[in-house]
């Protein structure tokens, strides 16, 4: 193990690099980015006490994101082989089980528990309404948003400069050379138990749902699906700085009758 130091703006590793080390942040912070070299888009910031790169080492997969120092940062660098020895080595059963779990979590269909509010069930929801959470998104959806009557309902980037609203799909013409909203970015769907959820559709940048990241490319927190709560849910397409922000309103029948 060795301690390395990075200055702000220096890269720890890049998307597509070999996963050969695990890192532990001792001080400072790094920014998680994704996208082409010409347009890396920030997704999240990680700080002291966080472990970096362990999923790629365990799974034997290339790096799925780029990590850049956002402050002066000190990291403990651990050889991937040494990290794996903690689980008995490459051919031991514990590591094989851990790798299998990581692979399943990377494409998991489940999420963490809902905290503080009731999980939204379709039979209890009087109306599903999608609203803009900021001025940019409101310019497409208007002040009252749009009702969603059909599930699943997909949201993504329009190929042209016109809003396209269909029974099961919404496409928005987000401006700019690198919009954080991608084609077929996420979907609002109904589970077998009647629970409403948001699924990331293998988008390049993932989503943030009620403050928690979901993505199909790496299990940052909970895999590609987030359960929705009764009431207002915030959905951000892309990273923490994205301007593509929605409120999905799921008010219960009891609330509407009150």
CB 229 within 8 A of CB 195: no
Phi-psi region of 77 (alpha: psi -120 to 50; beta: other; left: phi over 0): beta
Q: Does residue 139 sit in helix, strand or coil?
A: helix
pLDDT of the chain along its 258 residues, tens only?
A: 899 999 999 999 998 899 999 999 999 999 988 877 667 888 888 899 888 888 788 777 788 889 999 999 999 999 988 888 876 655 555 665 665 655 555 444 333 434 445 788 888 899 999 999 999 999 999 999 999 999 999 999 999 999 999 999 999 999 987 789 999 999 999 988 899 999 999 898 889 999 888 887 764 445 689 999 999 999 999 988 889 999 999 987 665 444
- What is the C-alpha separation between 243 and 217, in angstroms, rounded? 21
Ordered structural domains, the chain, with CATH: 2-106 (2.60.120.10), 122-257 (2.60.200.20)
CB 165 within 8 A of CB 173: no
- What is the C-alpha separation between 153 and 189, in angstroms, rounded? 7
CB 34 within 8 A of CB 218: no
Q: Does residue 171 sit in helix, strand or coil?
A: strand
Res 108: pLDDT: 42
């Amino acid at each position: 193990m060795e301690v390395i130091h990075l200055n702000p703006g220096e890269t720890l590793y890049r998307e597509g690099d070999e996963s050969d080390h695990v890192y532990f942040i001792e001080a400072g912070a790094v920014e998680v980015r994704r996208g082409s070299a010409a347009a890396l888009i920030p997704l999240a910031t990680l700080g002291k006490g966080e472990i970096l790169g362990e999923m790629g080492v365990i799974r034997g997969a290339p790096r799925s994101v780029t990590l850049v120092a956002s402050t002066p940062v000190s990291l403990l660098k651990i050889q991937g082989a040494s990290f794996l020895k903690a689980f008995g080595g490459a051919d031991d059963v514990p590591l094989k089980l851990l790798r299998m779990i990581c692979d399943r979590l990377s494409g998991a269909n489940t999420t963490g528990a809902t905290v503080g509010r009731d999980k939204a069930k379709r039979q209890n929801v009087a109306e599903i309404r999608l609203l803009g959470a900021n001025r940019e998104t409101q310019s497409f959806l208007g002040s009252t948003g749009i009702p969603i009557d059909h599930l699943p309902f997909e949201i993504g980037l329009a190929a042209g400069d016109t809003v396209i609203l269909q029974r099961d799909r919404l496409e928005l013409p987000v401006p700019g050379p690198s919009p954080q909203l991608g084609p077929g970015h996420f979907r609002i769907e109904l589970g077998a138990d009647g629970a409403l959820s948001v699924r990331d559709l293998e988008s390049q940048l993932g989503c943030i749902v009620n403050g928690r990241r979901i993505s199909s490319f790496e299990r940052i927190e909970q895999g590609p699906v987030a359960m929705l709560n009764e009431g207002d849910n915030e959905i951000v397409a892309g990273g923490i700085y994205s301007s593509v922000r929605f409120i999905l309103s799921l008010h219960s029948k009891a609330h509407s009758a009150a």
